[in-house]
Structure 1
Amino acid sequence: MAATTSTPQGSLRQRNVGGSTKKNKDGLTNLDVELDKFAKANSVQPAPATASERDYKIVFVFVTAMAFLTRFWGISHPNEVVFDEVHFGKFASYYLERTYFFDVHPPFGKLLFAFMGWLVGYDGHFHFDNIGDSYIANKVPYVAFRSLPAILGALTVSVVYLIMWESGYGLPACLVAAGLILLDNAHIGQTRLILLDATLVFAFACSLLFYIKFYKLRHEPFSRKWWKWLILTGFALSCDMSTKYVGLFAFITIGSAVVIDLWDLLNIKRPGGALSLPDFGKHFGARALGLIILPFLFYLFWFQVHFAILTRSGPGDDFMTPEFQETLSNNVMLENAVTIDYYDSIALRHKETKAYLHSHPDKYPLRYDDGRVSSQGQQVTGYPYNDTNNYWQILPVVDDHKLGHHVKNHDLVRLRHIVTDTILLSHDVASPYYPTNQEFTTVSVADAYGDRAADTLFEIRIENGKPNQEFKSVSSHFKLIHNPSKVAMWTHSTPLPEWGFKQQEINGNKALAPSSNVWLVDDIPSLPADHKRREKPVKKVKTLPFLQKWFELQRSMFWHNSQLTSSHPYASLPYQWPFLLRGVSFWTQNDTREQIYFLGNPIGWWIASSVLAIFAGIILADQFSLRRGIDALDHRSRSRLYNSTGFFFLAWATHYFPFFVMGRQLFLHHYLPSHLASTLVTGALVEFIFSGEPAEHQTTVEALKSGKKTDTDANTAKHHVTARERYSGQSTLPAWTAAIVILSLTFAGWYFFLPLTYGYPGLTVEQVVRRKWLGYDLHFAK
């Protein structure tokens, strides 16, 4: 499945479509000769190709110029940090400072921003800490940063136009598809700020264009151009997924089309005959190389660049294992790690929530809100601040009072809460919030070495640790496993009720594998700052194999991405996107009543969404008609509808429906690639509905292709010539009329919502209220 091409206006010749493919001495097939005879006999003089191409080129230049104008107009406003610029601008600064950071997205898009900053001589001194921070006061070349997505956003409009052009559509269809992107407020708003979606959408559009160019060369397999567009398709797909993981949907789009194409190559009845199995294997191998292997290597390459640049310790250290962190210079692992001895006082901190293991004299309540009874033991909680109630003494199983013995991996230990002089314990009592998890509490020293001795034993299990590996502060990430029950000490961010002072619950998790069970020793309070155990010789930065670092980072990225499930005031659900039910507030300025509200062009989105439904209806009606023996469409129209428009619809569906099964936070910008595909469907259906090749002309050409006898006397031939002339002239009027109406309405919607997209001018209360079409939660509406 892919976009098909139509015969150029003014010519009846089509290459390599049906019929005999044997060429004569002039390099023409029998079909070419028959079509030329038909044209000459009826005095059809093909119009020069340059005339038609010139019209396309003129419109292309105009559309591209308007795209740059709409994206760059007022790009310096506002001159302060807007929305998620706090993230992606910060990451660019970290690259320029070579400081390690962590993000759930792959590095390609962020590397482009860093490259732009490097080109203009920026040193990365500003870290984009807060929305509203001034770029001018902090001397940040923010216009250069914003220019990158603006350029890509403008070129996306051009690529959409080229997709339609390469697919053989007329100028009205090309202009409608490109115009819906050109005048869309969401695409404009997302490409005027330091955000990743411009790169993502541009790469997706390029993957469609390159694949169409590759598919058009299907009759010239393994030629230089065929390989070029195949590899470029894979490169675009790789850039798409290397920007955000949702770029994987583009692989599904292209992959589905490739599978259909390969299936067709196996058809023994296909024109030109079926391929032999060895030849089919070559086709399969070439596509696997160009669309799977090379894209994966490109994907790995960007991570190699990422690791090569980020060589200094930074805010992303805590997301990585100690082994990874020790590959970074100036790392706290190299500077502050101290071997822990028995009888040391330690402060344990949860790796993810940063809460300290804490206890205090207060007891668990007799009954919880759900009626369950507790042990009424001493509370053990997670506390976010450093406090003396966070100090625990690490004791050996056998209290031999020998100092200087190191704690090692897999040792069994007891933890004594110093302030209350009690011993940490877990037992078969349900925790406050998780009936399936065990309660953590403390018991007296007498009980800990008496009847409750077994329940106070815990195993130190260092992550990726080796046998007898020394247990160290800061660097040893570990799980504290309750020895009798084999549950891991765990906490979460949901606060306890008032009886627990809204601190975090500590409980025993039966699932040992999750990284949320990991803790570390933050400090050894009993060890003076000048103690010789804190003296550390200078250590060399360690190295790890690239693939080991890559696998570790991938695991961390996927896990943290899956944890983005918390609610957000501007999150939205997929069913809301095609109807544009709500947007996202990006920025406000109270003094001037200015705001940037991320919202698509409602008119353009509603038209595109309606056309998607129309397309589905046409396909269902055609299939129903065929079932009843009614063939309402000619071969060319049906082929174009199912293959070309169907390919665009597939791109929309594969970028839309997967979001329904995602559990993470979702926002309107996730729909932008699908919206782009819907504009392609819209342009294609404008041509299908409002223009088309006359049936008489199509009948004659189809008959010539099939080799059947046709009535070619002078009167009939003259009729066909007249029909063709009407098609190339007056018959395009309905399509142009439809295009003008659609673009005029879209322009009106773009202009009406322009102040919310560009952030100026400020609007009065009445003007804001007039723009709350579907209850958009706009500011300054009162």
Structure 2
Amino acid sequence: MASALTPQGSVRQRNVPGSAKNNKDGAASDVEIDRVIVKKPSKSKLVAKPAAKPAAKASERDYQIVGFFITAAAFLTRFWGISHPNEVVFDEVHFGKFASYYLQRTYFFDVHPPLGKLLFAFMGWLVGYDGHFHFDNIGDNYIDNKVPYVAFRSLPAILGALTVSVVYLIMWESGYSLPACIIAAGLVLLDNAHIGQTRLILLDATLVFAMACSLLFYIKFYKLRHEPFSRKWWKWLILTGFALSCDMSVKYVGLFAFVAIGSAVIIDLWDLLDIKRPGGALSLPDFGKHFAARAFGLIILPFLFYLFWFQVHFAILTRSGPGDDFMTPEFQETLSDNLMLSNAVTVNYYDSITLRHKETKTYLHSHADRYPLRYDDGRVSSQGQQVTGYPFNDTNNYWQILPVVDDQKMGHAVKNNELVRLRHLVTDTILLSHDVASPYYPTNQEFTTCSITDAYGDRAADTLFEIRIENGKPGQEFKSISSHFKLIHNPSKVAMWTHTTPLPEWGHKQQEINGNKQLAPSSNVWFVEDLPSVPADDKRREKEERKVKTLPFLVKWFELQRSMFWHNNQLTSSHPYASHPYQWPFLLRGVSFWTQNDTRQQIYFVGNPIGWWLTSSVLAIYAGIILADQFSLRRGIDALDHRSRSRLYNSTGFFFLAWATHYLPFFVMGRQLFLHHYLPAHLASALVTGAIVEFIFSVDSGDSEAVTKKPAADKRHVTARERFAGQSMVGAWVAVLVIFAILGAGWYFFLPLTYGYPGLTVEQVVRRKWLGYDLHFAK
């Protein structure tokens, strides 16, 4: 069996019938896939000679010509009608908006790393766009708002077209025949999903292009394994790391490419430790050099590139903007024109305040109504006064902040970690929490209020709360707007918390407030929005000229990473066009991007069903071939020649690994998932398909030893092997024609849904509702 899984490399056969074996002279049994074993008649020693080329093998010029036409076709399919529609489509509302924010240097927040959005901003800068349009709504007209949207869309279109070329080059560099290269590239070229994602202002074209480049560069690096530490070896190693970094710097799912290539690298390193490897065993110091070089090129450098894009991100976004609320006050102090910090007012004891939850923006609220005696699940409440979250500003949101001991701190500022009481002004009661289960969370404490007499009598301890400012320093003043804090119940050490599930009718469908035993989550954070008791002309409201502060880059980076990961994990709500991973390979549903009622035009994101079903079937075929080969070998039957098995396990196995690592991890994700998440895996499945077509037709493979045994001078007769090679090549070209014909038919049939024109009649829409696609205008 193969001891390494690599893009193209050596397969070592040990104790397998038909494989080369070590002889008594100790000759190595390992051979490379582009060489064959030939026995010299006069000796028992094994000698490696170049394999004879099959008669029908294409020349390098043939590959170049075909590659040119495939690239031209890719640009044509991506750019054709790219100006339609001239309206904001689907997630262009996000990524177009972010490009505008970059050009206006206005701070924003997004769950994805910055590289893809920076490229859009760079494209806008090249054409002189000033970022005045903010892509607020799907359907907003670009022409009316003077937005160079075609330039923006051209970026993913260029990268999408080049992705087809990279797929072709991957197959070529891996040594596959011309038919195999054409089929793999054609599956991406004529795929409606890849085309649809590359004609709009979206990130996936950049992601898929970077992923494809990482595979290509690693293959070119691996092919130089016999020239370690040469200039070219280092070049392709570093380029592989750079492509991997770009992949992850667009979206975090780009990390899957690290897993794919990292797995191949680990197997390769394990292979280098083999004392029986061709060329002799590496010494441990030499192995250490190989390990260090790969760690530097594929881990350290990519991480530095990744940090670089964030440095660019911070360097550009220097002005306060809509992303401020996601960051701490300390971070916001590094932004100019920050209204939150400039409007901050020191909170003194006996001030009336309004408290607002940072995430849900709801106010801390109370009213005279009480909790019911029993909840729906039969649990008994305290029947105390309701404390809820209310989304609108109201006098029932007013609370007075009191010291623990009256009359000792009049006019004094409230400070971090001090104990306070909160008095509800309208009902003249004191906020309280106690060991009674909340309405929705039996494990969380109920929040209610009690009378002032009880608050300073028997219930005194239950009314004490600690002001704990996020990242606050001892003695730091508590301020409105800028001091994000957690209100910790002193006796029980629970944090005041709320969530968006509304209470029943008895709670007026307002938000539940309860005590969370987990203090760490950022969902416990609140802030003081206003001080109604402080007059507008009070000295505390005077705005002093504020200097922009600085924070170390890594401090800002760590804070942003925490916020990005947290909000990414919160994308768990349902979406009408979300789909599950098991639906993707079979293309069971798509996503509606855009519709126009007057013309009955629509853009519906869906792949080419013929191509997706073909690649999914081939993946199953590949797994079946591997299992059959393993079973045969266990029974002493060797049905494959050395070169075929090498390709099957090494090169095709690498493509299959890339598919698995880009697909299977989605099954354990809890966030929203959509069909576009499968595009990198689909590209890898196209590579597997091209390789399996070559395997089936045995193009440029087979019993190469038989070829080398043919006398070189005998050119009068065509051997059976040459006739077989010619027939295989003909069969492969027939497969190319058949596959391209059905791919082209599928692409053309779904073209109106991909390009958004022409509009379709009801009958035409219904004909395209394969597998229940939820298309518009079907009736």
TM-score of Structure 1 vs Structure 2, range by shorter chain? over 0.9
Q: Secondary structure at the match of 1:565?
A: coil
Answer yes or no: is 1:734 the counterpart of 2:741.
no
Counterparts in 2 of 1:738 and 1:536: CA distance versus 1, 3 Å:
same
- Deviation string for 1:657-716 (max 9, x for gaps)? 000000100000000000000000000000000133564533455xxxxxxxxx66689x
Task: Give the drift of 1:721.
Answer: 6.6
- Deviation string for 1:396-447 (max 9, x for gaps)? 0011165211100111000001111111001111111111100101111111
Counterparts in 2 of 1:218 and 1:522: CA distance versus 1, 3 Å:
same
Find the partner of 2:200 among 193, 200, 223: 193
Answer yes or no: is 1:698 the counterpart of 2:698.
no
Q: Secondary structure at the match of 2:137?
A: coil
Q: Which runs of 5+ in 1 are unaligned?
A: 7-12, 21-29, 702-710
Q: How does 1:423-572 map to 2 (within 5 A)?
A: 423-572=430-579
Residue matched to 2:776: 779
RMSD: 2.1
Question: Which residue identity does 1:311 align to in structure 2?
Answer: T
Q: Which runs of 5+ in 2 are unaligned?
A: 11-30, 39-45
Question: Which residue identity does 1:114 align to in structure 2?
Answer: A
CA distance in 2, matches of 1:237, 1:143: 28
Counterparts in 2 of 1:696 and 1:542: CA distance versus 1, 3 Å:
closer
CA distance in 1, matches of 2:410, 2:243: 62
Find the partner of 2:403 among 377, 396, 403: 396
Answer yes or no: is 1:132 the counterpart of 2:129.
no
CA distance in 2, matches of 1:396, 1:279: 70
CA distance in 2, matches of 1:56, 1:130: 46
Residue matched to 2:6: 2
Residue matched to 1:262: 269
Answer yes or no: is 1:745 the counterpart of 2:742.
yes
Task: Give the drift of 1:15.
Answer: 10
Residue matched to 1:656: 663
CA distance in 1, matches of 2:75, 2:358: 46
Tell whether the 8 Å contact from 2:163 to 2:208 is kept in structure 1 after alignment: yes
Q: How does 1:561-640 map to 2 (within 5 A)?
A: 561-640=568-647
CA distance in 2, matches of 1:697, 1:389: 87
Residue matched to 2:649: 642
Q: Secondary structure at the match of 2:169?
A: helix
Find the partner of 1:670 among 650, 673, 677: 677
Find the partner of 1:762 among 759, 762, 765: 759
Task: Give the drift of 1:720.
Answer: 9.5
Counterparts in 2 of 1:35 and 1:525: CA distance versus 1, 3 Å:
closer
Task: Give the drift of 1:366.
Answer: 1.5
Question: Which residue identity does 1:642 align to in structure 2?
Answer: Y
Q: Secondary structure at the match of 1:735?
A: helix
Find the partner of 2:421 among 411, 414, 424: 414
Which deviates more, 536-545 or 92-101?
Answer: 536-545
Answer yes or no: is 1:209 the counterpart of 2:216.
yes
Tell whether the 8 Å contact from 1:584 to 1:597 is kept in structure 2 after alignment: yes
CA distance in 1, matches of 2:375, 2:758: 55
Find the partner of 1:117 among 96, 101, 124: 124
Q: Secondary structure at the match of 1:83?
A: coil
Q: Secondary structure at the match of 2:770?
A: coil
- Deviation string for 1:464-503 (max 9, x for gaps)? 1111111011111100000011000000111111111111
CA distance in 2, matches of 1:128, 1:292: 37
Task: Give the drift of 1:4.
Answer: 2.0
CA distance in 1, matches of 2:283, 2:100: 55
Tell whether the 8 Å contact from 2:329 to 2:341 is kept in structure 1 after alignment: no
Tell whether the 8 Å contact from 1:645 to 1:684 is kept in structure 2 after alignment: yes
Which deviates more, 682-691 or 333-342?
Answer: 333-342
Which deviates more, 245-254 or 741-750?
Answer: 741-750
Tell whether the 8 Å contact from 2:169 to 2:216 is kept in structure 1 after alignment: yes
Residue matched to 1:251: 258
Question: Which residue identity does 2:108 align to in structure 1?
Answer: F
Question: Which residue identity does 1:273 align to in structure 2?
Answer: G
Q: Secondary structure at the match of 2:670?
A: coil
CA distance in 1, matches of 2:702, 2:742: 32
Q: State the identity %.
A: 84
CA distance in 1, matches of 2:212, 2:605: 21
Task: Give the drift of 1:2.
Answer: 2.1
- Deviation string for 1:139-174 (max 9, x for gaps)? 100000000000000000000000001111111100
Residue matched to 2:245: 238
- Deviation string for 1:509-564 (max 9, x for gaps)? 00000000000001111111121111132121000000000000000000110111
CA distance in 1, matches of 2:598, 2:376: 47
CA distance in 2, matches of 1:470, 1:222: 59
Q: How does 1:18-29 map to 2 (within 5 A)?
A: none
Tell whether the 8 Å contact from 1:359 to 1:379 is kept in structure 2 after alignment: yes
Counterparts in 2 of 1:641 and 1:399: CA distance versus 1, 3 Å:
same
CA distance in 2, matches of 1:375, 1:350: 24
Q: Secondary structure at the match of 1:656?
A: helix
Q: Secondary structure at the match of 1:77?
A: coil
- Deviation string for 1:192-226 (max 9, x for gaps)? 00000000000000000000000011111111111
Residue matched to 1:360: 367
Q: Secondary structure at the match of 1:435?
A: coil
Find the partner of 2:86 among 79, 92, 103: 79
Tell whether the 8 Å contact from 1:336 to 1:534 is kept in structure 2 after alignment: yes
Residue matched to 1:27: none
CA distance in 2, matches of 1:306, 1:333: 22
Which deviates more, 86-95 or 329-338?
Answer: 329-338
Q: Secondary structure at the match of 2:772?
A: coil
Question: Which residue identity does 2:239 align to in structure 1?
Answer: L
Q: Secondary structure at the match of 1:522?
A: strand
CA distance in 1, matches of 2:702, 2:148: 59
CA distance in 2, matches of 1:320, 1:724: 69
Q: Secondary structure at the match of 1:585?
A: strand
Answer yes or no: is 1:289 the counterpart of 2:293.
no
Q: Secondary structure at the match of 1:242?
A: helix
Tell whether the 8 Å contact from 1:697 to 1:724 is kept in structure 2 after alignment: no
Counterparts in 2 of 1:15 and 1:505: CA distance versus 1, 3 Å:
closer
TM-score for both structures, normalised by structure 2? 0.93
Question: Which residue identity does 2:593 align to in structure 1?
Answer: F
Tell whether the 8 Å contact from 2:55 to 2:722 is kept in structure 1 after alignment: no
Tell whether the 8 Å contact from 1:603 to 1:746 is kept in structure 2 after alignment: yes
Residue matched to 1:300: 307
CA distance in 2, matches of 1:541, 1:589: 47
Question: Which residue identity does 2:597 align to in structure 1?
Answer: N
Question: Which residue identity does 1:537 align to in structure 2?
Answer: E
CA distance in 2, matches of 1:473, 1:695: 77
CA distance in 1, matches of 2:284, 2:217: 27
Counterparts in 2 of 1:18 and 1:259: CA distance versus 1, 3 Å:
farther
CA distance in 1, matches of 2:418, 2:704: 87
Which deviates more, 211-220 or 366-375?
Answer: 366-375
Q: Secondary structure at the match of 2:771?
A: coil
Question: Which residue identity does 2:127 align to in structure 1?
Answer: V
Question: Which residue identity does 2:424 align to in structure 1?
Answer: H
Task: Give the drift of 1:364.
Answer: 1.1
Question: Which residue identity does 1:753 align to in structure 2?
Answer: F
TM-score for both structures, normalised by structure 1? 0.93
Task: Give the drift of 1:723.
Answer: 4.7
Residue matched to 2:719: 722
Task: Give the drift of 1:739.
Answer: 1.6
